[in-house]
Structure formats: structure tokens, C-alpha cells
Structure 1
Amino acid sequence: MADTTHGKQHDYHIIDPSPWPFLGSLGALVMFFGAVGWMRSHSEQQFVVFGLDLATPWIFFIGLALVLYVMFAWWSDTVKEGQEGAHTKVVSLHLRYGMIMFIASEVMFFVAWFWAFFDASLYANEAIMTARVEATGGQWPPVGIESLDPLHLPLFNTITLLLSGTTVTWAHHALLHNDRKGLLAGLSLTVVLGLIFSYVQYYEYLHAPFAFAGSIYGSTFFMATGFHGFHVIVGTIFLLVCLVRAYLGQFTPKHHFGFEAAAWYWHFVDVVWLFLFFSIYIWGSWGAVIHAE
């Protein structure tokens, strides 16, 4: 009778009281005010709040440090809960639903950048928008813009990401078959390929014949590709954490949602890059003057 009264009679996980939601919200709030203060300081303006001038970049980094600490601590607690058996089939299913919803929200972010690019490119000669015609010369790419060669570094990065998609799939199948060596090798190769992609993207930005400011072409290009590059960096860190956990033996063929979530995220990054490559690099530079690198 005592077991029936006090024992766990359900598959759900009731988490212990945690400070991380409050501290995470606080960190995000500090980051928000810090970002405004940073932009105000950049334009040499004041940002007075409760009599204090917050026009400084340091507040943003304080908030960022707090958010990063909360992320580390909160996810560490989640990993610990999973190792203690709290992630039952029902809980794991809900974690998967949460990851799917998160990726769906990320898709909407990229829809905004694609929308901006296609709106500017498809209606470059819009008569009503006099400023747009003046900025683009009535054509796309705009007059005076030299585009990057899509068959040079962008194609190399496309092949790199596609290869990384195969290596992370290899690691996943190795994990399902309890092949620890295959898991570690596949994950290691994926992390290396992610780092190569980020470096090539950085090199491409340094040698781009156009800047972020000064043209709608540069703005839409750098926002879309840069936002994707940020996701590649996050995904690489995600996979690197999984690699460390794999070395520690924290994944089993039946319990490995952390790795599965990282693999989903990485495949999402792959698919988005294919859209970027074909729309912005290839279609977006069609008929334009190609920059000689």
C-alpha cells in the first residue's frame, strides 16, 4: 500500500524547482538593454535608464555570459535527469516534439531572410519604389555589383556540408548498432567538416567584392548567409558536446536523444544551405558580373 501511495505511478517527469527559467529570462532582459546601449554608444548617443547612462557594450556581454551559463547549467541538469532514468518513452516523445517545434520556429526565421531577398530581387524595377530603383538600377544584381562565383567557394562549402550530413548519419547508425568506434569517427569527421565550412565562409566574407552596408544586395546576402553561418557554428558546438558525451559513454542505442536532436539540427542546417546555394548564389547571380578571385 505504501508503494502505491508514494511510488511513481506515471511516465511523466515532474522536474524539481529550478532557478534556470528565471535566470535565463533575466539574462535575456539584460542582453536586450545591453544591445540597445551598445548601439547607442556606437552612434555616440546616451541611453539613460533610471538616471544611469547604459550606453556601453559591457552590459550586453554581462547578459550574454549569464545566458550562456544558464544554458550550460540547465542542459547539464537535463543530461543528469536522463541518466537517472527520468526520460521515459513519454518524456522522450515530448522532447522530440519540442525539438520539432524549435526547428519549425527556426524555419520561420529563414523565411524572413528569403522573403527579403526575393522581394528585393524579383521587384528590383518596381516603379512605385523610387528609392529601390535608384538603389538597384532597376535590375538584379544591382548595377555595379560583382557577384561571387557560385562554382568556387560556395560549391566547395556545399559539398562539405553534404559530406557532413553523411558522416553524422553514419554516426547515428553506428550508435544504433552499438558501434562505439563508428560513432566517435563519424562525429569527429562531422565536427571537422563543420569547422572547415565556417572557415571557408569567413574567408569568403573577407574577400567579398561588396559590403553589408551600401546596397540592398549586400544586406540581404550577408543577413541570409550570415544567419545560416551562425547556425553552423551553433550546430558544430552541439555536435562537439555530443562527441564529448560519446567519449564518456553517455549514449546507448536506446537512450540518445541529445545526439538525435543534434543530428536533426544539423540536417536542418544542410537543407537550408541548399536553398541558399541555389537561390542566392546561383539564381541570384545569374547574368551578373562574376568577381575574379
Structure 2
Amino acid sequence: MTNKVRGYMQLHPYHLVGPSPWPMFTSFSLMNLATSIALTSHGYMGHNYMMVMCAMTMLYSMTLWFKDMMAESTYLGDHTLAVKKGMMQGFLLFVVSEMLIFVSLFWAYLHSALNPSVELGMQWPPAGMEAMSAAELPLLNTMMLLASGVTITFAHHALINGNRKNTLYGFLYSTLLIVIFVGCQGLEYKIAPFTISDSVYGSTFFSATGLHGLHMMMLGIMLALCTWRVYNYDFTNSSHVGAETTILYTHVLDVMWLFMYMVMYWWGA
């Protein structure tokens, strides 16, 4: 359906989004999730039911929002070249903000690591703490992320060349690798010899790696969604902004993990 059929002639290439409840609904869901996490962490709630319910509500609202966006892009033709360019620029700004968050966490880690105080025993890791071995599970996770970078690049080239089968396989393999990575990181947290409350070492380590793990969960959802859209013939070799942003996000998180592995696992230990 074009804008002319809808009853008016649009004289610009931009998409004027109609009234939608999902931005407000998602905002309240995020606020409730953050509040429930804070209250649970400080012991005001004796269970995790509210936190899980808020997370499910947020995912549900985001799902409905993304469904409307995909309809606008694939079936209504609202995403013109100007709209796609604006979406890509917006996503690049989002990536820059994400990188600055990780820069602050690296800063906090290196501030204590390069000049450990008396309270830390004048050494890093602090006295009496056993660091995570960089040659075991973290190395396996690093190899899987490097492999996901290869498979997503394979999918990108196949998508540009119009090879739907290889594109589908590339996104599928990338999704499986990210899911395995998240599972292995959860296992790593379970067997870790220290906790988030063990001095500044534990707090900065788990804050940085945990935030990266949260982003990997989001990336897994994005890759699974792209896999479904490729299967559903939503992407073409000339129109695939959703796939491009997901591919870019995969590479950014891969590079961020490499820095995290070298600084916090290899050098920091």
C-alpha cells in the first residue's frame, strides 16, 4: 500500500510514524525491570518472580514493536532510502554509546589494576584471590566468537550476492554460536573462584563481562530474528538494513570481547 493509495500525496521521502503504544509500553516495561532488579539485588524482594515477569513483559512489547516495524519495511514500503540512511546513522550512534559504556568499565578496571592500593595488598589480582584461567573456558568462548565473526561475514557476502541458502546457513550458525557462548559464560560464572562482592576486582570483572553477556543475549535474539526473516524472504540483496545492523553489532561485540579477554583474563590474571 503506498501513501497515494492511503489518500494523500507525500512530498518528502521520510516516514511519518503513526500513533503507536509500543514506545510508551516498552519504556514502562524497562523502568519496571530496572526497579525490580534493584529491589531484588538489595534484598527487598525475596524472590525473582517480579524480575522475570518484567523481563517477559519487556520482550513481549519489543516483539510487537518490531512486528510493526517489519510490516512497515517489508509490506507497506515506508522505509525509503532516506529512512534507511537515517536508521543506519541512528544505529551507529547507538553503537558509539555502547562502546563508551565499555570504555568506562575498562577505565574502572585499569584504574585499580595499574595502581593497586594497600587495601588490595599492593598487587593485582588482590591478595588472596584466584583469577580465572585465560587458557580454559574463556579461550573456548573467544574461539567461538571468532567463529561467529566468520559465519556472519559469510552470511553478509551471501546476502549481497543474492544467495539465500548460504545467507540462511550463515545466520543460523552465528545464532547457534552465540547461544553456546552465553551458555558457556553462565557455566564460567558458576565455577568462578570469586564473586561480584569480592573487592573491586570481582565487581569490575563481573560488571564488564556480565554487561557483555547481556548484550550477547540481545545479539542472539537479533540473529534469530534475522534468520527467520531470511527464511521468510524479507531481505533482498539491495534492501537489508536489519541484517546490516545485526552484522555490525556482531562485529562490534566480537572486538569488544577480544579487548576484554586480553585485559581482564590474560593480562589481568
1:6 counterpart SS class: coil
Q: Distance between the aligned counterparts of 2:178 and 2:41, measured in 1?
A: 31
Structure 1's 192 and 93: CA in aligned 2 closer, same or farther, altered over 3 A?
A: same
Cα drift, residue 146 of structure 1: 1.7
Between the aligned partners of 1:7 and 1:184, the Cα distance in structure 2 is 38
Q: Match of 2:268, as an amino acid?
A: G
Asked whether 1:173 is paired with 2:157, we answer: yes
Identity of aligned residues (%): 38
- Where does residue 89 of structure 1 map in the other structure? 81
Q: 1:229 to 1:96 in 2, by over 3 A?
A: same
| Match runs of 1:8-47 below 5 Å | 8-39=10-41, 42-43=43-44
Number of matched residues? 263
**1:43 CA displacement:** 5.0
- How big is each residue's C-alpha offset from its partner over 1:10-34, in whole Å with a ceiling of 9 and x where there is no partner? 2111111111122222223333443
Query: Aligned pair 1:222/2:192, yes or no?
Result: no
Q: Pairwise mapping of residues 58-97 of structure 1 onto structure 2 (< 5 A)?
A: 58-83=49-74, 84-97=76-89
- Larger-gyration structure (1/2): 1
Does the 8 Å contact 1:12/1:88 carry over to 2?
yes
TM-score by length of 1: 0.84
Q: State the secondary structure of the residue aligned to 1:147.
A: coil
CA distance in 2, matches of 1:271, 1:59: 34
Shift of the alpha carbon at 1:242?
0.6
**Cα contact 1:34–1:56 (8 A) shared by 2:** no
User: Secondary structure at 1:86's aligned position in 2?
Assistant: coil
How far did 1:57 drift? Answer: 5.2
Alignment of 1:98-247 (within 5 A): 98-125=90-117, 133-134=118-119, 136-247=120-231
Give CA-to-partner distance per residue, 1:183-205, whole Å, 9 cap, x none: 01111111121122122222222
Distance 1:26 1:202 in 2: 28
Q: Whole-Å Cα distance in 2 between the matches of residues 227 and 18 of structure 1?
A: 30
- 1:232-257 Cα distance to aligned partner (Å, 9 max, x none): 12111110111011111111111111
Q: Is the 8 A contact 1:201 1:229 kept in 2?
A: yes
Q: What is the Cα deviation at residue 59 of structure 1? A: 4.5
Question: Deviations 1:88-111 (Å, cap 9, x if unpaired)?
Answer: 110000000111111111112211
Which amino acid letter does the alignment assign opposite residue 247 of structure 1? Y
| Letter paired with 2:36 | G
In structure 2, what is the equivalent of residue 47 of structure 1? none
Gaps (5+ residues) in structure 2?
A: none
In the TM superposition, structure 1's runs of 4+ consecutive aligned residues that sit over 6 Å from their partners are none
The residue identity in structure 2 corresponding to 1:251 is F
TM-score in terms of structure 2 length: 0.91
